[in-house]
């Protein structure tokens, strides 16, 4: 098919797609081949050798963060000069006003709107949600003038285990599992702070989305996530293995004056402009032309 199409550029994304796409493009005689590494691989020595050979057939490798770039260079899979960092784009969807009204109605039944922490992700081990729930439980033991909730938006194989964990800690009613949502905008709009406790992140579209909605954040200091914050001073970095670190950061945001959180949120919004789709497209076009 590639021979029939005769493209000027072949751009593949992700480990398996890179393996097949780069080789197919090379054998089809495509002049410009670009591979894109979308995560932090943990390759066995055998695969390091394979990907070093595969990536040698490409003219350029895109990494979605400097953390990803450093990783694949350190693995010896590609030379540093051949890698360019281009962050994933973030497009903020339209607010679903019907859904927003329904959500506001649910909250209006409560005496006081809680302070809402939100995380949006797949419910899998690397997202470290068990420690997040434990941290939230520890925070709930502290005296507070305002009720708090933790919203987990997403689905995955750990859902039932996490629900049971919340119940066993006596906070089942304070943690909302919303499941998979096609549009998370309405949930981000109703939240007060974003939490990203992952054990590893190549980059984080979910964090960039939350920043675009003006949310201050608590995020893992591992991988590419801190790069998304940039110099905005709009979030608190934590050790994802340290429950106390996560709990203390969440407590700090919860007790901040609203004006201080709003200022953090405005800085987050401005920083998120780096990830506009227009900037991403311009970067790609420049690479394709070069």
Rounded CA-CA distance 18/43 in Å is 14
Per run of 10 residues, the mean pLDDT along the chain (length 290 residues) is 88 90 93 90 80 94 95 92 94 58 55 88 98 98 90 98 98 97 91 97 94 97 95 97 98 96 97 93 90
How many Å from the N-terminal Cα to the C-terminal Cα in the chain?
Answer: 25
Helices within 141-274 (DSSP H only): 159-168, 185-190, 205-212, 225-229, 243-255, 258-272
Rounded CA-CA distance 124/92 in Å is 25
List of domains in the chain: 2-86 (3.40.50.2000), 97-274 (3.40.50.2000)
35: left (phi over 0), alpha (psi -120 to 50) or beta: beta
User: 62: closest CA among 46, 31, 39, 41?
Assistant: 39
pTM of the model: 0.89
pLDDT score for 38: 87
Instruction: Please give the angle made by the CA atoms of 152, 154 and 157, to the nearest 5 degrees.
Output: 105
């Amino acid at each position: 098919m590639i021979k029939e199409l005769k493209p000027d550029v072949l751009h593949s994304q992700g480990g398996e797609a890179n393996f097949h796409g780069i080789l197919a493009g090379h054998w089809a005689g495509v002049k410009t081949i670009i591979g894109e590494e979308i995560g932090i691989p943990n390759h066995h020595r055998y695969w390091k050798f394979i990907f070093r050979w595969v990536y040698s057939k490409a003219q350029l490798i895109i990494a979605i963060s400097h953390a990803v770039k450093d990783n694949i260079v350190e693995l010896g899979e590609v030379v540093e000069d051949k890698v360019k960092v281009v962050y994933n784009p973030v497009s903020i969807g339209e607010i679903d006003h019907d859904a927003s009204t329904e959500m506001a109605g649910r909250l209006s039944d409560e005496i006081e709107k809680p302070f809402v922490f939100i995380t949006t992700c797949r419910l899998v081990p690397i997202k470290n949600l068990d420690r997040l729930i434990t941290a939230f439980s520890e925070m709930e033991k502290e005296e507070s003038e305002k009720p708090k909730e933790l919203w987990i938006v997403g689905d995955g194989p750990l859902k039932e285990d996490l629900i049971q964990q919340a119940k066993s800690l006596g906070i089942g009613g304070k943690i909302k599992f919303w499941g998979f949502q096609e549009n998370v905008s309405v949930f981000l709009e109703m939240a007060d702070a974003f939490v990203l406790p992952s054990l590893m992140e190549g980059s984080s579209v979910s964090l960039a989305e939350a920043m675009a909605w003006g949310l201050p954040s608590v995020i893992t200091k591992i991988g590419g996530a801190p790069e998304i914050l940039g110099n905005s001073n709009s979030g608190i970095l934590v050790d994802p293995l340290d429950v106390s670190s996560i709990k203390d950061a969440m407590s700090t945001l919860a007790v901040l004056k609203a004006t201080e959180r709003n200022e953090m949120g405005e800085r987050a919004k401005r920083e998120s402009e780096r990830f506009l789709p227009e900037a991403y497209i311009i970067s790609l076009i420049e690479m394709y032309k070069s």
